[in-house]
Structure 1
Amino acid sequence: MSLASFTGTQLAVDLKRQSRRATLRALGSSLLTLVLTLVAVLVLWQGAIWAFDLSPFVAKSPADVLEFMLTDEDASEVFENLLVTLGDAAVGFVAGLVVALLVASGFQLSKGFEHAAMPIALLLRSVPLIAFAPVIIMIFGRDFMTTAVMGGIVVLFPALVNIAYGLKSASPQMHDVVSVYGGSPATALRKVSLPSSLPAFFAAVRISAPGAITGALLAEWLATGRGVGGSIGGYISSAQFSLVWASVVVVTLVSLLLYNVVLTVENTVLARMGMHPEKRV
């Protein structure tokens, strides 16, 4: 084996080792973040009950909720509602993220389109969704489409801002290279802007995952009457506070888990691509 060949092989092995170490560090950081977040939530929850001396009939402690979830037959209803809410959230998440990606790509290809569409996005962001809800319900009814539209609106604006920023972060010199070799703006978007926007895209997904659950809960409360959002009002009116707290806990826990799953995937992908997680958007 020649010296050049040996050096190349050694370099490849070193790069693989560095990538593996970076991936393990990213996974460890994400898991540590999840554990610390859960501990902080539990401490604040129990501390608030003690500090305000809340009645145990209304305010349930972490131990009370855990006991209810493990021993009470009604706890299965919480998980059934959660599955419905997660399905509704998935619809809004996909709808909002796909529209945000398409619109942000349009911004990159046409400044005129950006100037025309951005005010509409700002309008959707500035007006409370609850004010739009009656109109959305009248147009789409109290079913699947309303869930998709309301969830998509919650996800759309933060995802759009992050993705649009990421697409603009690509080096102008790289765009010039594509142009010199006869590439079109669409080619530059596909080969330069989209890969460069990965950190911003993951930031959009991290924000959108819990936001989609919020949109689903709102749509269920105002329109469909199903899932966790549609059930909590009934639990409160009938003084079923254990079900209320259990519903809030599972939704919060799932939101935290989704956020940290995306964070773990983000850290792993960026580490393997040589993009340091600390530089993400």
Structure 2
Amino acid sequence: MTALLPGADEATAPVPGRTGSLLWTALRQVATTLLVVGIVVLLWIAALRIWDVSPYVGKTPAEVWTTLFADDDSAELRAEIGALLQQTLTDAAVGFAAGMLTAIVLAALVVRSTVFEAAVMPVALVLQTVPLIALAPILILLVGRGYGVVAIMSAIVVLFPALVNTVQGLRSVTPQLRDLVLVYGGSPSTVLLRVGFPSALPALFASVRIAVPGALTGALLAEWLATGKGIGYAVVSAAGRSQNARVWALVVVVSLTALVLYLLAQLVETAVLSRFGRPGSAR
């Protein structure tokens, strides 16, 4: 069907200078991320000084660096944080996959049926507005404390923004292009698969960029409220024992991890949209 559509070959044909443009865009995104990190570090130091936070409670970037790399037990702490981070990333991956797949399937059904949209969107909105800390006891009773509750809690964080963005992307198909597919013998499902989803790629990747830190947040909440594993529980446990340097180290590590994952999602988005010649692929 795509071969029948005008411009289909041009959309996937090699574009002169695309590799150089893609590399330049990737370098610009990395430089922007480093600049953001620098600004956050400066604001961090300024906030501690402006509000005169006690050194016992507030740790500077230099103190966090010392905790992670210069103390006698830094190697042991890094190994422990590495194991905790691996658990948290596994939990986040489960929630990310569950939330994104659910959002994509629901979005496809929503654009095909207004009745289904009227039934699904209010439920998704309610799940978005109800605090997870209130839902956690019910979810634990229903599915236990394993990966099921992690998947559900992370998926709830991811679901609504991903669903809304994907629906808007799928509905971005112009009436003229939809009619063209139907004239050539395509069905509404063909419009959705061959035209809707390619047109929705920018919105879909925007959803991915939102979902990556969202899934990590959901995983941390699930670890704190349900599983008792990973960085989410380790932060609460260390705070309860007044191990403030450890708390700051854990928070910095998981924050940097979220930033790196967001950057990777941006780079993948740039590469894929550039491959398909989508507008904004060279941001």
| TM-score, structure 2 normalization | 0.90
Deviates more, 1:27-36 or 1:84-93: 27-36
SS in 2 for 1:120: helix
Partner of residue 39, structure 2: 40
SS in 1 for 2:115: helix
**What is the identity, as a one-letter code, of the residue corresponding to 2:18?**
S
**What is the identity, as a one-letter code, of the residue corresponding to 1:195?**
P
In structure 2, what is the Cα distance between the partners aligned to 1:50 and 1:277? Answer: 41
CA contact (8 A) 1:217 1:230 kept: yes
CA contact (8 A) 1:108 1:164 kept: yes
Residue number among 108, 127, 136 corresponding to 1:124 in the alignment: 127
CA contact (8 A) 2:91 2:150 kept: yes
**What is the identity, as a one-letter code, of the residue corresponding to 1:67?**
T
Evaluate the alpha carbon distance shift between residue 279 and residue 199 of structure 1 in structure 2; reply closer, same or farther with a 3 A threshold: farther
Partner of residue 200, structure 1: 203
Partner of residue 268, structure 1: 271
Residue 278 of structure 1: how far off its partner (Å): 7.1
Superposed structure 1 runs of 4+ greater than 6 Å apart: none
In structure 1, what is the Cα distance between the partners aligned to 2:33 and 2:135? Answer: 35
In structure 2, what is the Cα distance between the partners aligned to 1:247 and 1:201? Answer: 31
Residue 267 of structure 1: how far off its partner (Å): 1.8
CA contact (8 A) 1:68 1:75 kept: no
Task: Kindly indicate whether residue 223 of structure 2 is the aligned counterpart of residue 224 of structure 1.
Answer: no
**What is the identity, as a one-letter code, of the residue corresponding to 2:203?**
A
SS in 2 for 1:39: helix
In structure 1, what is the Cα distance between the partners aligned to 2:158 and 2:280? Answer: 23
In structure 1, what is the Cα distance between the partners aligned to 2:211 and 2:262? Answer: 9
Residue 221 of structure 1: how far off its partner (Å): 0.6
Evaluate the alpha carbon distance shift between residue 15 and residue 95 of structure 1 in structure 2; reply closer, same or farther with a 3 A threshold: closer
Evaluate the alpha carbon distance shift between residue 98 and residue 185 of structure 1 in structure 2; reply closer, same or farther with a 3 A threshold: same
CA contact (8 A) 1:23 1:272 kept: no
Deviates more, 1:22-31 or 1:214-223: 22-31
Task: Kindly indicate whether residue 113 of structure 2 is the aligned counterpart of residue 113 of structure 1.
Answer: no
In structure 1, what is the Cα distance between the partners aligned to 2:237 and 2:19? Answer: 50
CA contact (8 A) 1:206 1:259 kept: yes
Deviates more, 1:17-26 or 1:166-175: 17-26
Long gaps (5+) in structure 2: 1-9
Long gaps (5+) in structure 1: 1-10
Aligned residues with identical type, % of pairs:
46
CA contact (8 A) 1:167 1:194 kept: yes
SS in 2 for 1:17: coil
Task: Kindly indicate whether residue 92 of structure 2 is the aligned counterpart of residue 89 of structure 1.
Answer: yes
**Residues 168-223 of structure 1: CA distance to partner in whole angstroms, max 9, x if unpaired?**
01121111111112211111111100000000000000000000010001001111
CA contact (8 A) 2:22 2:282 kept: no
Residue 279 of structure 1: how far off its partner (Å): 9.3
Deviates more, 1:106-115 or 1:207-216: 106-115
**What is the identity, as a one-letter code, of the residue corresponding to 2:17?**
Q
**Residues 146-167 of structure 1: CA distance to partner in whole angstroms, max 9, x if unpaired?**
1011011111001001111100
**What is the identity, as a one-letter code, of the residue corresponding to 1:129?**
L
In structure 1, what is the Cα distance between the partners aligned to 2:162 and 2:190? Answer: 23
Deviates more, 1:199-208 or 1:54-63: 54-63
Partner of residue 187, structure 1: 190
Partner of residue 162, structure 2: 159
TM-align CA RMSD: 1.8
Residue 15 of structure 1: how far off its partner (Å): 5.8
In structure 2, what is the Cα distance between the partners aligned to 1:220 and 1:183? Answer: 47
Residue number among 75, 78, 87 corresponding to 1:75 in the alignment: 78
SS in 1 for 2:16: helix
Partner of residue 54, structure 1: 53
| TM-score, structure 1 normalization | 0.91
CA contact (8 A) 2:274 2:281 kept: no
**What is the identity, as a one-letter code, of the residue corresponding to 2:242?**
A
